[in-house]
Amino acid sequence: MLKVLVVDDSEMSRDVIVKFLKFKGYEVFEASNGNEALYIMGKEEDIDVVLLDVEMPVMNGIETVRNIRISGYPAIVIMLTGLGDEETMKKAAQNGADDFLTKPVDLVLLLSKLVAIEKYKKFHEEKTKTFHESTRKIGDLMKSAMKLSEENKHLSIELVHLIYIIAEYRDDETHAHTMRVGWLSGEIAAEMGLSEEEAAMIQLAAPLHDVGKIGVPDLILLKPDRLTDEEFEKMKKHTLIGYDILRNSSSGVLKKAAVISLTHHERWNGSGYPKGLKGEDIPIEGLIVAVADSFDAMVCKRVYKGPIPMEKAFEEIKNLSGVLYSPKVIDAFIQIKDKVFKYYEVYKSA
């Protein structure tokens, strides 16, 4: 049976849950605040589930779940929150919570969740492990970004300004796509042996690869059918528009984003656009983002098409090595296949 830690400053609420779970055969621990909870988890390292109240003295639920994840504990965290408290649920999820229950807790629903957790325990453990590893990598990336910002004094201001511009024109689906392309580009760059700083710059710059689409009419950008030749010619101009937006920046990251915007649709055999560059005439960052962008477009839903299975997308990309994509980039991409599968599984389950 699962080991469950109940964390609630209300003795009455806590007592009801604790007695119910013990009656159902679970091994139960209890704490009245976040500090007590972390102390117990330090002693009982194999706690499986934490039922965590949000509003508590000493350390509230949001701070507690953040510390649970920072410490690397693999427990599944279910937040106990007021009905309709969407902002709290959002903060909890951002800090690593897995699920939530509204108070007063429906004990039948709680039991069903615990039964499901026990059945799919391995999946939840893997998801938590991936979250922890991603958090650590984000920390490393931020350190690299801080180093870069010292060399690019206007980086933060310019990035925020550009993000505001993008946010006004792009919907959530496109924003999610750009973030995934950034992550994947950074992973490929690192696997290829590029320096930590260069890989960080590419990860920061890659999400701006399609910034030029702000100059493409919505009737074309959001069209659910195949584009006409004339419409496609207009769509292709987003590479040039993005380059023009970014190229005069004083920031090294944004200059790299300009190169990516211009070249991420160039192809190894010269069949791409806007300049028809071929082979190693295409900058390495353009070659990397070309693969990341194409793969994500294949496996995720778009207004004009449905997703294809990830295994099939990998095969299609691999088969185009030396044709549309750089063989060196594809080799690195194949090497991180397992990591990519885990990343997308967690993303889709979130």
Range with lowest mean pLDDT among 116-120, 128-132, 228-232, 298-302:
128-132
Question: Do 236 and 338 sit in the same domain of this protein?
Answer: yes
Q: What is the CATH number of the domain that holds 48?
A: 3.40.50.2300
27 compared with 120, residue with greater pLDDT: 27
| Residue 63 located in a structural domain | yes
Q: Average pLDDT, stretch 221-246?
A: 87
The answer to whether residues 113 and 158 belong to one domain is: no
> Is 99 found in the same domain as 187?
no
Q: Say if residue 92 is in the same domain as residue 159.
A: no
In this structure, the answer to whether residues 91 and 188 fall within a common structural domain is: no
List the CATH number of the domain containing 265. 1.10.3210.10
166 with 239, same domain: the answer is yes
| One domain, residues 81 and 178 | no
| Paired sense of beta strands 76-81 and 3-7, if any | unpaired
Nearest CA among 298, 335, 338, 333 for reference residue 316: 298
User: Is the residue at 271 inside a domain?
Assistant: yes
Predicted local distance difference test score (pLDDT) of residue 96: 82
- Of 119, 139, 170, the position where a domain reaches its end is 119
Pairwise pLDDT comparison (151 vs 178), residue with the higher score: 178
| Coil, helix or strand at residue 296 | helix
Residue 280 lies in a domain: yes
Tell the residue number behind the tokens 């194949």, with chain if given.
Answer: 334
Packing angle of the helix pair 310-319, 327-335 (nearest 10 deg)? 150
If asked whether residues 299 and 216 sit together in one domain, one would say yes
What local confidence, expressed as pLDDT, does residue 350 receive?
46
Whether residues 88 and 200 share a domain: the answer is: no
Burial class (CB within 10 angstroms; exposed 0-12, middle 13-18, buried 19+) of 283: middle
Q: What are phi and psi of 33, to 5 degrees?
A: -160, 175
CB 144 within 8 A of CB 197: yes
Same domain for 285 and 186:
yes
pLDDT band at 168 (very low <50, low <70, confident <90, very high): very low
Mean pLDDT of the chain: 85
Same domain for 199 and 262, yes or no, is yes
Residues 69 and 29 in one domain: yes
Tokens 């953040």 sit on residue: 66
Phi, psi for residue 136 in degrees, rounded to 5: -65, -40
pLDDT surpassing 60 at residue 288:
yes
- The count of structural domains within the chain is 2
267: left (phi over 0), alpha (psi -120 to 50) or beta: beta
Q: Which residues pair with 50 in a beta bridge?
A: 5, 77
pTM of the model: 0.56
Domain span at residue 75? 3-119
